[in-house]
Structure 1
Amino acid sequence: MPSIILLNKPYGVLSQFTDDRGRPTLADHIRCKGFYAAGRLDSDSEGLLLLTDDGALQHQISHPRQKLPKTYWVQVEGEIGPGALAKLRRGVSLKDGVTAPARARSLPAPDIWPRVPPVRERKSVATSWLELTIREGRNRQVRRMTAAVGFPTLRLIRTAIGNWRLGDLAPGEQRIEEVFAAPTRTARNRRRR
């Protein structure tokens, strides 16, 4: 039976096991052999990263065709309002095309771990939080989306991928789960008919 590791990837850690420049990698946190990341999370982003010991499951989770929803808590510069949230919900124009509509809502500042190093603060500029759920996986997409609506991202934490949730894992902590025959997108679509 395939297994999956849910890791709370800390800020500054690469989503790979080796690095020829000596930067922190998954090898600093994952001791289980034979697990590989199912997708990526930029080094300057934090939160849920899935790893699995099953190639088919890895492909199913990470392939863009599956369009698994990914949910993020995003701290942005400025007080994000209804207009910017509406634009995110419609889709925004980026250099590589218009994004698919996202789910977006304001979020009270979450009670979470401090980031190391801390997010830069400017006393004259407020910050706010939003929850954003996307189904695409473009390079640095969330950061580019918030910037496109006028609110640069300061901190980015992925909290969910599909039905997997970060929960109360602290940075660097992990949990292993067995995966029971996860239905493919095609099988799910057949069941809906």
Structure 2
Amino acid sequence: MSESIHRHFLIFKPYGFLSQFKSNDSKQQSKRFLGRLYDFPEEIMAIGRLDEKSEGLLLLTTDGKMSDYVNSSYVEKEYFAQLDGDITDEAIALLQTGVAIGLHGKKYQTKPCQVYKLDQAPQLPSRQKKIRDDRHGPTSWVSVTLKEGKFRQVRKMTSAVGFPTLRLVRVRIGDFYINNMLPGDVIELPDWRVRD
């Protein structure tokens, strides 16, 4: 039985970055990649993704087994979403029980999840690109905790109930919290040994 030591990182993915490290596609050369934030090992991979306009916690690892586990339905991912409009109790109830969203050209029913409205805006670092101001109407914040991670799921869910997402920040993956991290911060975590 061999034992291998892997490397794991927690990063605060900034707005405008792709959840990959480089691209051989000439059309993407102007894009910003995670490799600009830190000198990561060659075999590093992102566990799950955040789209270019989303921010927050991302786990990186050189361990495929850890990636499979974190992507499984055992591990919760919590997001704070700023919504266009003052979300209603009815909309929150719909999100909690599951809504139909488009996925690969078909309808997908999201699984029940934890959703609640935040009493006030969370203490998050300001975003580089300005979010529309209050002259265009009220906004509200919700916490959404999922055990699944379909493509752009939170954005599609809030749109489905009539409150599009203006800003999306992942604040927790399992027991890892964003705490006081700032956009671009990278923390190397203690190694876990994985037995083959």
Specify if TM > 0.5: yes
Normalising by the smaller structure, the TM-score range is 0.7 to 0.9
Conserved in 2, the CA contact under 8 Å of 1:2 and 1:178?
no
Moved over 4 A (4+): none
Query: More strand per residue: 1 or 2?
Result: 2
Q: Which residue does 2:130 correspond to in 1?
A: 118
Task: Name the CA distance, whole Å, in 1 between partners of 2:136 and 2:143.
Answer: 24
Q: Which residue does 1:11 correspond to in 2?
A: 15
Q: Which residue does 2:35 correspond to in 1?
A: 27
**Deviation at residue 129 of structure 1 after TM alignment:** 0.4
Q: Which residue does 1:49 correspond to in 2?
A: 58
Q: Sequence identity of aligned pairs in percent?
A: 38
Match of 1:140 among 152, 157, 174: 152
The one-character-per-residue Cα deviations of 1:31-84 (angstroms, maximum 9, x if unpaired) are 12132111111010000011012222122223xx44421100000000012111
What TM-score results when the alignment is normalised by the length of structure 2? 0.86
Which runs of 5 or more residues in structure 1 are unaligned? 183-193
For the residue of structure 1 that corresponds to 2:69, the secondary structure is: helix
For the residue of structure 1 that corresponds to 2:94, the secondary structure is: helix
Task: Name the CA distance, whole Å, in 2 between partners of 1:15 and 1:180.
Answer: 23
Which runs of 5 or more residues in structure 2 are unaligned? none
Count of residue pairs brought into register by the alignment: 180
Q: Could you say what the CA RMSD is over the residues aligned between the two structures, in angstroms?
A: 1.6
Match of 1:170 among 177, 182, 193: 182
Conserved in 2, the CA contact under 8 Å of 1:75 and 1:129?
yes
1:128 aligns with 2:140: yes
Conserved in 1, the CA contact under 8 Å of 2:73 and 2:148?
no
Q: Which residue does 2:70 correspond to in 1?
A: 61
